[in-house]
Amino acid sequence: MKLYDLTLSGNCYKVRLLAALIGLPLELVPVDFLAGDHKRAPVIELNPLGQLPALEDGAVVLRDSQAILVYLARKHGGEAWLPTEPEPLARVMQWLSTAANEVQHGPADARLVDKFGLPLDKPSTLRTSDFILPLLDRHLATRDWLELGRPTIADIAVFPYVALAPEGGVSLDGYAHINRWIARIKALPGYVAMPGTE
Amino acid sequence: MKLYDLTLSGNCYKVRLLAALIGLPLELVPVDFLAGDHKRAPVIELNPLGQLPALEDGAVVLRDSQAILVYLARKHGGEAWLPTEPEPLARVMQWLSTAANEVQHGPADARLVDKFGLPLDKPSTLRTSDFILPLLDRHLATRDWLELGRPTIADIAVFPYVALAPEGGVSLDGYAHINRWIARIKALPGYVAMPGTE
C-alpha cells in the first residue's frame, strides 16, 4: 500500500498515524511539494485535485485524507476506529467534516501562510481558529475522546492541525482540555510524531 | 425525526432531498436564520457550532449535513446510498470531504456573500469555485454519478451548492457534464426542489 506523502503535511501525517496505531505497514512515496510535484504525474493522475496525500492499494486509488482514514479503518481496523452502525458512524463523521472544513480553514491554513508562505487570508484563518478551538475545548471538557468514549478516526482527523496550530501563530495556551487530549493521543500505543507535534 | 431547518440553506436541503428520495418523513422545525435563532436555544444546545441543519431523532442529536446524510443513509437506506465495504465507503467519503471543503468554500460561500450579505472574501470563493467546478465537470465526463455507477450520498452532498452556484455569481454555462448530472438528479423518483434549483 503506497502513500504519496509529504513529511510536513498534517493531512499525510493523519494517515501515517492511523497506520502506525493499527500496525499497518505503508510504503511512503515522498512527493516534492515545493517543486510542485503534487501538480504533476504521477500524483495528478492519482488525485486530479493535485493534493496530498493520495493512496494506491493495488487497483484502489483514493484521494482526501479523511477518505483514506475511512478506508484503512474499515479495511484493517475492524469496528474499533470506525463503527458502521448508523449513530456511531455519523458521530465520527461529524468530526471528519469539521476536519475538512473548520480545522482546515482555521489552524491548518494559518500554518500554510506562516510556514509555507501561501497567499491565503490570514485574518480569516485566525477567526476560524478562534471559532473552532474554544468549541473543541468545551467539547473535550466532559470527555476523553471526541466520540464514543474511545479513540476513533475522528480524533486522528482533527488532531494533527490542532497540535500544529502554534506553527500558524495560533496559541494553544488556555485550552486545557485540548492539551490533555493531545497528551492522551501521544500516549496511545504505536503513536508516531511528525515535525512540529513533538 | 426532527430537522432544524432553513428553507434557503443548501445544507438543510441535502437532508430534505435524501429523506424524500428514500421516502422518510421528516418533521421540519423552521429556524429564523436572519433573526439569529441558530445561535440561540434550542439550536445552539443541539449544535454548539450554531449551524444548520441539526437533527434530533429521539435521543440521537447530530450536527453537520454530511454526518446527517450518513445517519439517514445507514439507518434507512440499506447499502444503496452509503455502502459499508472499505473501498466504496471511502469513494463516497472523498466527496463528503469535497462538499465540506471546496464546495462549501467555493460556490456555497459565494452565494452567502451575494444572497445573504455575509462578509466573506468573495474573490477567494470565486477562485475555489474555478478550481473545483472544472474538476467536477471532468470527473462527470466519463460517468453518470460521482461514484459507484449509481446515485449515493456523494451526489446528494455535492449537488445543492453546485446547482445553486449561479446565485453566487458563479455561472454553470460551459459545464456540460455538470449540467447533465444535475438533470439526472432532478429526474430521480421522489426528487424535491428548493428555491434556486428549479
pLDDT at A41: 92
Secondary structure letter of residue A169 according to DSSP: T
Task: Say if residues B55 and B32 touch (Cβ distance below 8 Å).
Answer: no
pLDDT at A34: 85
One-letter amino acid at A139 equals H
For residue range A154-175, list pLDDT tens digits in order: 999 999 999 999 999 999 999 9
Rounded to whole angstroms, the Cα distance separating A125 from A130 reads: 9
Instruction: Say whether B86 and A94 touch across the interface (CB within 8 A).
Output: no
- In a 13 Å sphere around the CA of B55, the CA atoms on its Cβ side amount to 27
Average pLDDT of chain A is 96
**Beta pairing class for A27-30 and A60-63:** unpaired
Average pLDDT in the B83-92 region? 97
A contacts of B89 (beta carbons < 8 Å): 70-71, 74
A contacts of B71 (beta carbons < 8 Å): 86-87, 89-90, 93
Chain B residues with CB within 8 Å of chain A CB: 48-49, 60, 62-68, 70-71, 74-75, 84-87, 89-91, 93-94, 96-98, 100-102, 104-105, 120-121, 124, 135, 138-139
Residue A27: C-alpha distances to residues A30, A34, A37, A42 (Å): 10, 21, 18, 16
For residue range A50-65, list pLDDT tens digits in order: 999 999 999 999 999 9
Task: Say if residues A14 and A157 touch (Cβ distance below 8 Å).
Answer: yes
Rounded to whole angstroms, the Cα distance separating A68 from A61 reads: 9
Task: Say if residues B3 and B55 touch (Cβ distance below 8 Å).
Answer: yes
Q: Which of B24, B29, B28 is nearest to B73 (CA)?
A: B24
Rounded to whole angstroms, the Cα distance separating A16 from B117 reads: 41
- H-helix or E-strand containing A69? helix A65-76
Q: Sorting pLDDT into bands at 50, 70 and 90, what band is A66?
A: very high
Answer with the residue of higher pLDDT: B77 or A24.
A24
Instruction: Say whether B135 and A62 touch across the interface (CB within 8 A).
Output: no
Rounded to whole angstroms, the Cα distance separating A161 from B101 reads: 15
pLDDT surpasses 90 at B78: no
pLDDT surpasses 90 at A91: yes
Nearest CA of chain B to the CA of A86: how many Å? 5
| Structure-block grid coordinates of residue A116 | 509555507
Which of A11, A65, A96 to mutate: most B Cβ within 10 Å? A96
Q: How many CB pairs under 8 A join A and B?
A: 106
Which of B24, B85, B94, B133 to mutate: most A Cβ within 10 Å? B94
Which candidate from A49, A74, A102 shows the least CB-CB separation from B89?
A: A74
Domains and CATH numbers, chain B: 2-76 (3.40.30.10), 86-186 (1.20.1050.10)
Which candidate from B70, B94, B101 shows the least CB-CB separation from A93?
A: B70
Task: Say if residues B178 and B155 touch (Cβ distance below 8 Å).
Answer: no
Q: Sorting pLDDT into bands at 50, 70 and 90, what band is B158?
A: very high
Scanning chain B, the segments in alpha helix (DSSP H) are 10-22, 43-46, 65-76, 86-98, 109-116, 122-139, 153-163, 176-186
Which candidate from B85, B94, B138 shows the least CB-CB separation from A67?
A: B94
Rounded to whole angstroms, the Cα distance separating B8 from B11 reads: 9
Cβ neighbours of residue A7 under 8 Å, at least 6 residues apart? A30, A194, A195
SS3 B23: coil
Cβ neighbours of residue B174 under 8 Å, at least 6 residues apart? none
pLDDT at A153: 98
Average pLDDT in the A20-28 region? 97
Task: Say if residues B52 and B63 touch (Cβ distance below 8 Å).
Answer: no
One-letter amino acid at B62 equals L
Instruction: Say whether B86 and A71 touch across the interface (CB within 8 A).
Output: yes
Ranges of beta strands (E only) in chain A are 2-5, 27-30, 54-57, 60-63
pLDDT at A198: 81
A contacts of B105 (beta carbons < 8 Å): 101, 105
A contacts of B60 (beta carbons < 8 Å): 87
For residue range A123-146, list pLDDT tens digits in order: 999 999 999 999 999 999 999 999
SS3 B2: strand
A contacts of B11 (beta carbons < 8 Å): none
- Residues linked to residue A61 through DSSP beta bridges, in sequence order: A56
Average pLDDT in the B147-152 region? 98
One-letter amino acid at B143 equals R
Average pLDDT of chain B is 96
| Structure-block grid coordinates of residue B18 | 435524501
pLDDT at B100: 93
SS3 B174: coil
pLDDT at A26: 97
Instruction: Say whether A70 and B89 touch across the interface (CB within 8 A).
Output: yes
SS3 A164: coil
One-letter amino acid at B90 equals A
